[in-house]
């Protein structure tokens, strides 16, 4: 309920402004840390397990605050030695190994962001906060419907937050079906652009969160299925107007927070969509 509440709020801001305030992700992360600490007390685990909070807080905090070089180096050294101490103290304790997936996932999402596989900073922060809030696969009564095989092994090599990301990506893959249905209703079935967007009056383009799929290049009207974000929208609109083009194909700037939110819900109550599809096909 905590995760869903904040993610729904983030989706609202992302749809309205294409921006999400950092305080939302910080709140999810802090709630996750508090709940995890409470679980430690409830499970009566050793004090050595609590050291996992050092790399978690450091990596999560680094996404929001810039530390000085000396302080950053000192904190990372402290985090490294805390994990090293846990290895020597706890060995291959399953509980500790599963906890270790949290800072590992934070590092993975840093890597995905800097390699541009995750395009928005908010997307990476959302996944980081989910990694902290839900470090273990949740089981609520009969949910999820599609239960993972060998939960502990699955949790170790495919943490819950990865499942949320996978389901979010699968949701985005079905978007072309939605575009086809919409364009069929509007009787704008021009291929292949009808799979990637829809038509709009050129005067409305600047007022909407969309990218142009049409351009004027060397006095020639061309189609661009995958427009670049850095393109000068106003200049492109001016050229298209000069070419007497009144309606253009656009592709919406769909915020990834929305699929992440839907993927979060699906992961809790349905489970792994891909695994379920494979089971159904076989």
List, for residues 266-280, the tens digit of each pLDDT value: 998 988 877 777 766
* 105 and 214 belong to one structural domain: no
- For residue 23, the model assigns a pLDDT of 93
CA dist 65 and 63 (Å) reads: 6
| Residues 1/268, Cβ–Cβ less than 8 Å | no
Q: Is the pLDDT of residue 71 over 80?
A: no
* 2 and 128 belong to one structural domain: yes
Which position has the token pair 């249905």?
181
Which position has the token pair 């869903």?
4
Q: Is the pLDDT of residue 73 over 70?
A: no
H-run or E-run covering 261:
helix 257-269
* 7 and 110 belong to one structural domain: yes
Burial class (CB in 10 A: 0-12, 13-18, 19+), 125: buried
| Residues 237/206, Cβ–Cβ less than 8 Å | yes
* 118 and 25 belong to one structural domain: yes
Residue 221, phi-psi category: left (phi > 0), alpha (psi -120 to 50), beta (remainder): beta
179-187 average pLDDT score = 86
* 6 and 74 belong to one structural domain: yes
Q: Is the pLDDT of residue 78 over 90?
A: no
Residue 61, phi-psi category: left (phi > 0), alpha (psi -120 to 50), beta (remainder): alpha
* 206 and 88 belong to one structural domain: no
pTM: 0.81
Cis bond before residue 144 (omega within 30° of 0): yes
* 199 and 108 belong to one structural domain: no
How many angstroms separate the Cα of 16 from the Cα of each of 91, 112, 273? 48, 25, 29
Q: Is residue 152 part of a domain?
A: no
Cis bond before residue 231 (omega within 30° of 0): no
Say which residue, 71 or 142, is predicted with more confidence.
142
Q: Is the pLDDT of residue 3 over 90?
A: yes
Q: How many CB atoms lie within 10 A of CB 264?
A: 26
Last residue of a domain, one of 135, 169, 192: 135
Give how many domains the chain has, as a whole number: 2
Q: Is the pLDDT of residue 148 over 70?
A: no
What are the tens digits of pLDDT across the range 207-224? 678 888 888 777 788 887
CA dist 243 and 169 (Å) reads: 37
Domain span holding position 221:
178-252
Reduce the DSSP state of residue 247 to 3 states and report it: strand
pLDDT over 90 percentage in the chain: 25
- For residue 178, the model assigns a pLDDT of 85
Average pLDDT along the chain? 84
Q: Which of 180, 242, 237 is nearest to 210 (CA)?
A: 237
144 is written with which tokens? 């999820």
Q: Is residue 172 part of a domain?
A: no
* 84 and 210 belong to one structural domain: no
* Residue ranges in 50-134 assigned as alpha helix (H): 53-62, 69-90, 94-114, 121-133
Q: Is the pLDDT of residue 37 over 60?
A: yes
CA dist 38 and 74 (Å) reads: 28
Q: Is the pLDDT of residue 150 over 60?
A: no
* 16 and 103 belong to one structural domain: yes
């Amino acid at each position: 309920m905590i995760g869903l509440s904040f993610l729904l709020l983030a989706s609202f801001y992302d749809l309205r402004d294409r921006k999400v305030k950092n305080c939302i992700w910080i709140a999810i992360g802090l709630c996750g840390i508090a709940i995890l600490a409470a679980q430690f007390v409830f499970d009566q685990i050793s004090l050595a397990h609590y050291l996992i909070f050092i790399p978690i807080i450091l990596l999560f905090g680094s996404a929001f605050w810039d530390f000085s070089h000396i302080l950053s180096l000192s904190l990372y050294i402290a985090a490294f030695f805390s994990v090293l101490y846990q290895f020597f103290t706890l060995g291959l304790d399953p509980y500790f190994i599963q906890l270790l997936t949290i800072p590992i996932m934070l590092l993975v999402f840093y890597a995905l962001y800097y390699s541009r596989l995750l395009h928005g900073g908010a997307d990476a922060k959302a996944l980081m906060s989910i990694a902290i809030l839900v470090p273990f696969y949740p089981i609520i009564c009969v949910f999820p419907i599609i239960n993972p095989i060998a939960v502990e092994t699955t949790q170790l090599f495919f943490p819950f937050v990865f499942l949320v990301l996978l389901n979010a990506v699968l949701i985005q893959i079905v978007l072309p079906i939605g575009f086809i249905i919409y364009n069929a209703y509007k009787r704008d079935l021009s291929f292949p652009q009808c799979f990637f967007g829809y038509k709009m009056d050129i005067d409305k383009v600047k007022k909407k969160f969309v990218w142009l799929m049409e351009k004027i290049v060397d006095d020639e009207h061309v189609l661009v299925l995958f427009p670049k974000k850095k393109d000068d929208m106003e200049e492109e609109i001016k050229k298209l107007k000069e070419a007497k083009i009144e309606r253009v194909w656009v592709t919406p700037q769909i915020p990834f927070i929305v699929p992440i939110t839907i993927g979060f819900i699906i992961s809790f109550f349905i489970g792994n969509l891909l695994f379920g599809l494979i089971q159904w096909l076989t």
